[in-house]
Amino acid sequence: MSTNLTQAITANRLSDGFVVYLTAQDQWSERIEDCQSADDPRSAETLFARAQHHADSGQIVGPYLFKIVRDGGHPVPLSRREIIRTTGPSVGTDLNLK
Amino acid sequence: MYRYDEFDHAFVAERVTQFRDQVARRISGELSEDEFKPLRLMNGLYLQLHAYMLRVAIPYGTLSALQMRKLAHIARTYDRGYGHFTTRQNIQYNWPKLGEVPDILAELAAVEMHAIQTSGNCIRNTTADPLAGVAADEIEDPRAYAEIIRQWSTLHPEFSFLPRKFKIAVTGAPNDRAVTRGHDIGLRMHLDNAGAAGFEVMVGGGQGRTPIMAKTIRAFLPVDQLLSYLEAILRVYNQLGRRDNIYKARIKILVQNVGVEAFADLVEAEWRHIRDGALDLPTEERDRIAAYFSPPPYDDLSEDCPALDNAIDAHPHFAAWMESNVQAHKQPGYAIATISLKPHGGIPGDASAAQMDAVADLSEQYGFGEIRVSYKQNLILPDIPKADLYALWLVLDRWDLATANAGRISDIIACPGLDYCNLANARSIPIAQRISERFSDLARERAIGDLSLNISGCINACAHHHVANIGILGVDKKGTEFYQITLGGVANENATIGSIIGPAFDEWQIADAVETIVDVYLQQREKDEPFIDTYQRIGPDPFKEKLYATDQAR
């Protein structure tokens, strides 16, 4: 179930800084669809502890929890910032280029 | 141009080796992020929203063709084929991979460039008038002094951990094209009664959440005493600046709290201890550095150029470009050409690798292989024979680099905003794109005339919105982007901070709001009065009345 408290974990990958999400398989995926979510503060805390472990081992940088809603099962970030992190720059990266 | 000596080469090469080792230790897990972060920031490497970002210094905004080609090569080889020129005369790459950054730094070192002190609480890249050395109104080329400051401030042991970042700007001309009053220290050259050059020293300027224009603490500082006086200012700041609150840590807050006169007294007292000593600049050393910035071997050309006059008469688009993008040169028969990096609907300040290569080629074909980067996020070819301007324009046009909008409403300064930046609250680029498209009609833009419009995506004000005629600040209101307008800012020698006009507009209203402001101006202006003069004459009320007549703002 998706509640106001539904959260997932994101971070930046050490090697290239790309946005990644913590999965249920304890991996990091570039696709938000793969994220594991937590519906209550306690499971969010557990999720974060797992992410911190990965940060300590140097795979990823700066993990944090962020709020999502489930739209037809798909995780959608609530904040504009996280939406942009999910989709990439809203202006693309090849405008103004020949 | 300045050329590295043996010491410079060795120092930069050593730093590359050092950082290569630090990156390897980070990747192997030997260094934690907490340990690595200050090391990467010392080398200009940030971690932004989507990726790492490398900020490369372009000292006093001067590039050789060789350096520009290297920047293009880096964009193509290590990034996504483009770079972003910034208001601090830097270039930023948005997608470098951590493991490749040492290679990028080695590539930069090969052309005498680096990313040292482009981040962190130290003295940052010293900026200068982008028209240094070629402007008709100049007293002396300020770049020699900017280079001297660069050498003094690079890895200065006392000033490597200041309370906060520190920015210095220098101009050698009375018309300020470097926003000197918007910096921690602004230096503006004057002549004394005997005709000797010296600097007016302005301290405590900055934008951000507390915009303040720098105050003059010394009306005239002989040039040979520049470094001892700067050292005295930095020493007072380093000792008294706040370190407990990041928002109160800039020198502007210290100057404000202590008072300008008291601050000046503190600096003078400190200066008495160190002046007339090791930091004095011997004339021969100044001359040695200044020689690097000697004028190129200009031809003896006539100021009259019938071929140019004919081209202007025959080609209206070229004529429009001449009007907005070409400025008078101090050397007869030459001109200064601004290459707009603001195509209508484009991303302000972005240039593709191919465009960078094209600019490098053009600088060699028509100039002396030199390119400037302006704080307005444009490029400048400083030495173009008037007779070659039309041929230059034809090539620029092919590369989408000939937009005739320098100084006009679509010459928008915009920070990367929430599309890239970790600090931003709102997007800047799409708003800039929308507004520049709105004013893409050449005749209309010419009719509006000179008007500065800058957009920052957060209160840090990287896009200088406070000193724009029309400033736009992106804010976040409960997860939605809104845009607050300030009017009346000025960025020249009469630098002024704009005033908030009223409640903010959402992303779909903001272009209409700008159009409303322009309409009021066009209705109210007298003859050829520029926007800022009309605003200063009639004040904010007519704009406010029209903007908020309907309930379009929130």
Residues B366 and B432 in one domain: no
Cα torsion B67, B73, B78, B82: sign: positive
B531 neighbors B487 (Cβ within 8 angstroms): no
Query: Residue B214: its pLDDT value, please?
Result: 98
B347 neighbors B412 (Cβ within 8 angstroms): no
Residue B370 lies in a domain: yes
Residue B431 lies in a domain: yes
Per 3-state DSSP, chain A is made up of helix, strand and coil in percentages (nearest 5) of 30, 35, 40
B409 neighbors B530 (Cβ within 8 angstroms): no
Between CA B499 and CA B297 the distance in angstroms is 47
Q: Does A55 touch chain B (CB under 8 A)?
A: yes
Residues B152 and B256 in one domain: yes
Residue B181 lies in a domain: yes
CA of residue B287 relative to chain centroid, distance: 27
Query: Residue B391: its pLDDT value, please?
Result: 98
**Interface confidence: ipTM more than 0.85:** yes
B51, A17: Cβ pair inside 8 Å?
Answer: yes
In this structure, how many other beta carbons lie within 10 angstroms of the beta carbon of residue B261?
10
Residue B159 lies in a domain: yes
A81, B354: Cβ pair inside 8 Å?
Answer: no
In eight-state DSSP terms, residue A40 is: S
Of B26, B49, B99, the CB nearest to A85: B49
Residues B260 and B320 in one domain: no
| b/e burial code for range B482-497 (CB count within 10 A of at least 16 → b) | bbbbbbbbbbbeebbb
Of A55, A78, A93, the CB nearest to B479: A78
Residues B154 and B94 in one domain: no
Q: Alpha carbon of B259 to those of B203, B212, B264, B265: distances in Å? A: 11, 13, 9, 10
Query: Pick from B291, B320, B348: which residue ends a domain?
Result: B291
Residues B103 and B156 in one domain: no
- For A30, nearest residue in chain B (alpha carbons): B50
Between CA B315 and CA B188 the distance in angstroms is 39
Strand partners, B221: B199
Query: Pick from A16, A43, A39: which is nearest to A28 by CA?
Result: A16
Residues B139 and B236 in one domain: yes
Residue B354 lies in a domain: no
Residues B312 and B371 in one domain: yes
The pLDDT tens digits of the residues spanning B347-388 come to 999 999 999 999 999 999 999 999 999 999 999 999 999 999
Between CA B309 and CA B283 the distance in angstroms is 44
Residue of B23, B28, B31, B33 to mutate for A, most A C-beta atoms under 10 A: B33
- Which runs of consecutive H residues, i.e. helices, occur in B440-482? 442-448
Query: Residue type at B464?
Result: H
Query: Residue B412: its pLDDT value, please?
Result: 98
Residues in chain B within 8 Å Cβ distance of A86: none
Residues in chain B within 8 Å Cβ distance of A96: 82, 343, 346-347, 350, 352, 400
Residues B382 and B425 in one domain: no
In this structure, how many other beta carbons lie within 10 angstroms of the beta carbon of residue B257?
12
What residue ranges of chain B have pLDDT lower than 70? 550-554
Residue B510 lies in a domain: yes
Encoding tokens for residue B514?
Answer: 């700008």
Encoding tokens for residue A2?
Answer: 């998706």
Query: Residue A5: its pLDDT value, please?
Result: 83
A20 neighbors A60 (Cβ within 8 angstroms): yes
A85 neighbors A19 (Cβ within 8 angstroms): yes
Chain B residues contacting A via beta carbons under 8 Å:
26-29, 32-33, 47-52, 80-82, 94-95, 97-99, 343, 345-347, 350, 352, 354-355, 399-400, 418-420, 426-427, 429-430, 433, 476, 479-481
Query: Pick from B439, B476, B435: which is nearest to B455 by CA?
Result: B435
Residues B438 and B535 in one domain: yes
Q: Measured at the alpha carbon of residue B91, what is the angle toward residues B88 and B96, in degrees to the nearest 5? A: 135
Strand partners, A29: A21
A11 neighbors A61 (Cβ within 8 angstroms): yes
- For B33, nearest residue in chain A (alpha carbons): A61
Q: Alpha carbon of B131 to those of B3, B173, B177, B212, B342: distances in Å? A: 20, 9, 8, 25, 19
Residues in chain A within 8 Å Cβ distance of B29: 57-58
Residue B429 lies in a domain: yes
Residue of A12, A13, A52, A96 to mutate for B, most B C-beta atoms under 10 A: A96
In this structure, how many other beta carbons lie within 10 angstroms of the beta carbon of residue B241?
20
Encoding tokens for residue B468?
Answer: 């724009």
Q: Alpha carbon of B301 to those of B326, B333, B337, B386, B392: distances in Å? A: 17, 5, 17, 9, 18
Q: Does A41 touch chain B (CB under 8 A)?
A: no
Between CA B44 and CA B29 the distance in angstroms is 21
A14, B345: Cβ pair inside 8 Å?
Answer: no
Q: Does A4 touch chain B (CB under 8 A)?
A: no
CA of residue B550 relative to chain centroid, distance: 37
Query: Pick from B370, B398, B426: which residue ends a domain?
Result: B398
Of A15, A62, A91, the CB nearest to B98: A15
Encoding tokens for residue B472?
Answer: 């736009």
What residue ranges of chain A have pLDDT lower than 70? 1-4, 92-98
Strand partners, B206: B212
Residues B223 and B266 in one domain: yes
Cα torsion B241, B219, B132, B393: sign: positive
Q: How many domains does chain B have?
A: 4
The pLDDT tens digits of the residues spanning B196-235 come to 999 999 999 999 999 999 999 999 999 999 999 999 999 9
Rounded to the nearest angstrom, the minimum Cα separation between B342 and chain A is: 9
Dump strand ranges (E) for B462-536.
470-477, 480-487, 499-500, 505-506
Residues B447 and B504 in one domain: yes
Domain that holds residue B242: 134-291
Query: Pick from B291, B326, B348: which residue ends a domain?
Result: B291
Q: Alpha carbon of B391 to those of B329, B335, B385: distances in Å? A: 18, 13, 11
